[in-house]
Amino acid sequence: MKSRWKPSVTVAAVVEHNGRFLLVEEHTPEGLRLNNPAGHLESGESLVDACARETLEETTYRFTPTALVGIYQAQLRNASTQETTTYLRFAFCGDLGALQPQRKLDRGIVRTLWMTPDEIRASTARHRSPLLLRCVEDYLAGRRYPLDLVYTAPEIS
């Protein structure tokens, strides 16, 4: 039987405060790169819960998603292995909560930083994914979809 191909499902937080966006600088096979706080959906987890968890793990800030910014598909090649992975990203915006100073940044995350849209646009060579800028641009364009657009069956959460 032929195995079924599946994309890698990820979530991302688009967090804006006073005209700046919360990003992470992280180690990747391609070197230090910038990204939205983002990560993989885990088994038994809703997309909204995954986004809140990943944001906390990568930034040490609590985050409550309030709207879907968009759903994105991209193929990225790993520079060291030359393998191509297709990502299906669900990006959410929402309310940034309190910093949790007792927490440590997730493995691989070097630091968090706040950047203006122009700084993000000027740093595309350092982006982990082209989706970083696209998510920010869609947020700036006012794209917001209600969370009930993403249904989670009761047995999952």
Mean pLDDT by 10 residues, the chain (157 residues): 86 98 94 96 96 98 98 86 90 96 95 98 96 98 97 87
157: which 2 tokens? Answer: 């959460």
Instruction: Tell how far CA 153 is from the center of its chain.
Output: 22
* Topology, domain 8-146: Nucleoside Triphosphate Pyrophosphohydrolase (3.90.79)
| Phi, psi for 94 (deg, rounded to 5) | 175, -155
pLDDT attached to residue 110: 97
15, 93 Cβ separation under 8 angstroms: yes
pLDDT attached to residue 157: 63
Q: List the domain boundaries for the chain.
A: 8-146
Rounded distance between C-alpha atoms, residue 86 and residue 19, angstroms? 31
Residue 157, helix vs strand vs coil: coil
